[in-house]
């Protein structure tokens, strides 16, 4: 097998896309659900888990903590009865942002969590303040947050927590620890993304008592333990609405008709509103959608990202590629991450007409005739955007740093090939 760091995509653009694609399980749901499985000593079975690099990295971390975890055909069986983080794989922790989700399970099970600072995509500084704030409210004490994340807890306590920001992972950590806090905990200004909802539903199936799922106000009645026995048939991870949005945009950028299955389309309301404004041709059903490409697209005054249910920051880069093909001037306003617009420089290499105003705002003028040139992935979602740009560009595009794409998308090139795209993976 070719090492991921030495791979690239070669894409021949301007191909018609037709057919059906089923999205994989959600990366952003599977990672916290895997961590939540550590809260019980009983075996847990998870299904519809995406076969991506981040999942295998987390499983490798599990193995270093003496957790039995086996991945087979998009299912993971976990037995955390012998959880022991004394020899945790620190190198992987430092490379993976989602590893911060180990804080709550370790505190809940062992009374202490000591981790190096997590890594991941370079999207600007991401504070851990929201995590430590919530965990302290539940009884944890901070031993060190300068050189590492070192927390201890002797006795958990219920609390009324007003989150300092609607952080997804901080909300997930708070929920996981609050599940065991005696009494009733309220978490206000909680993140409500579909993947947060899915983790809460999973915990409830294990015996937790969480109310308000899907809202910004969660109420959690503490329990003494969680079980895995009710999960004999497995818990199925929700479909990846971000992958669905990516394929929807791919279909709109190329002539043809693409059907996308495997998601709850209501999770993408903010995308549909913006596509409607752009004049896109699509039809929604409860668990699938159909898009038709080839029509004239219109610029939109403002694509503004914000916390769910507003427009997802993870779809900002793919949608910006769509805006390069829209008629008129569009403004992009990324409100969450200051490093998220760096991919626009790659689009400029391809011929996109872009004016970068500041780290958070840019103007895109279209339509632009994109051409195939060597470009690179900047992060997971920007990597997918580079593939979309290559699909509608004239000529052949080489995309490097595709290990970012492999972290978040299962078999992206295979699914695109099945639709008629000419994309292949080769040695860099």
Coil, strand, or helix at residue 278? helix
Coil, strand, or helix at residue 218? strand
For 322, the token pair is 């769509």
For 398, the token pair is 């080489």
Sign of the CA dihedral 120, 21, 246, 309? negative
Q: What kind and span of H or E run contains 205?
A: helix 194-205
Q: Check if 121 is active-site.
A: yes
Sign of the CA dihedral 81, 238, 116, 308? negative
CB 162 within 8 A of CB 185: no
Q: Which of 286, 298, 271 has its CA nearest to residue 367?
A: 298
Q: Quick count: other Cβ atoms within 10 Å of Cβ 424?
A: 12
Active-site residue identified among 35, 94, 121, 378:
121
CB 321 within 8 A of CB 281: no
- Alpha carbons 233 and 203: distance in angstroms, whole number: 15
Q: What share of residues in the chain are helix, strand, coil (percent, to 5)? A: 35, 25, 35
CB 17 within 8 A of CB 61: no
CB 107 within 8 A of CB 129: no
For 108, the token pair is 């809940």
CA angle 101, 102, 108 (to 5 degrees): 115
- Whose structure tokens read 């939540």? 36
- Alpha carbons 61 and 58: distance in angstroms, whole number: 5
Active site positions, annotated: 121
């Amino acid at each position: 097998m070719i090492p991921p760091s030495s791979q690239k995509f070669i894409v021949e653009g301007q191909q018609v896309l037709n057919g059906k694609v089923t999205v994989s399980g959600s990366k952003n749901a599977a990672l916290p659900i895997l961590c939540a499985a550590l809260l019980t000593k009983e075996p847990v079975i998870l299904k519809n888990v995406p076969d991506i690099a981040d999942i295998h990295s987390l499983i490798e971390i599990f193995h270093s903590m003496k957790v039995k975890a086996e991945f087979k055909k998009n299912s993971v069986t976990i037995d955390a009865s012998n959880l022991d983080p004394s020899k945790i794989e620190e190198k992987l922790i430092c490379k993976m942002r989602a590893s911060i989700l180990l804080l709550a399970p370790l505190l809940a099970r062992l009374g202490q969590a000591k981790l190096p600072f997590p890594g991941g995509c370079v999207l600007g500084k991401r504070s851990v303040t929201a995590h430590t704030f919530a965990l302290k409210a539940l009884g944890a004490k901070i031993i060190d947050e300068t050189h590492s994340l070192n927390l201890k807890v002797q006795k958990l306590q219920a609390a009324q927590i007003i989150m300092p920001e609607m952080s997804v992972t901080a909300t997930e950590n708070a929920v996981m620890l609050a599940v065991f806090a005696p009494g009733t905990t309220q978490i206000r200004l909680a993140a409500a993304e579909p993947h947060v909802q899915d983790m809460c539903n999973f915990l409830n199936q294990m015996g937790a008592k969480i109310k308000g799922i899907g809202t910004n106000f969660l109420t959690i009645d503490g329990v003494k333990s969680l079980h895995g026995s009710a999960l004999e048939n497995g818990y199925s991870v929700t479909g990846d609405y971000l992958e669905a949005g990516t394929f929807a945009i791919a279909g709109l950028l190329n002539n043809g008709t693409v059907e996308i299955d495997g998601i709850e389309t209501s999770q993408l309301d903010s995308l549909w509103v913006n596509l409607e404004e752009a004049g896109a041709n699509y039809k929604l059903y409860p668990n699938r959608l159909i898009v038709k490409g080839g029509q004239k697209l219109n610029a939109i005054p403002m694509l503004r990202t914000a916390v769910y249910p507003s427009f997802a920051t993870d779809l900002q880069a793919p949608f910006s590629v769509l805006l390069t093909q829209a008629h008129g001037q569009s403004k992009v306003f990324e409100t969450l991450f200051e490093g998220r617009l760096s991919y626009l420089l790659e689009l400029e290499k391809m011929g996109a007409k872009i004016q970068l105003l500041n780290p958070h705002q840019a103007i895109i003028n279209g339509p632009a005739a994109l051409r195939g040139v060597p470009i690179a992935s900047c992060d997971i979602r920007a990597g997918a955007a580079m593939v979309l740009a290559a699909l509608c560009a004239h000529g052949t595009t080489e995309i490097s740093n595709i290990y970012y794409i492999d972290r978040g998308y299962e078999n992206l090139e295979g699914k695109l090939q099945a639709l008629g795209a000419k994309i292949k993976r080769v040695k860099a």
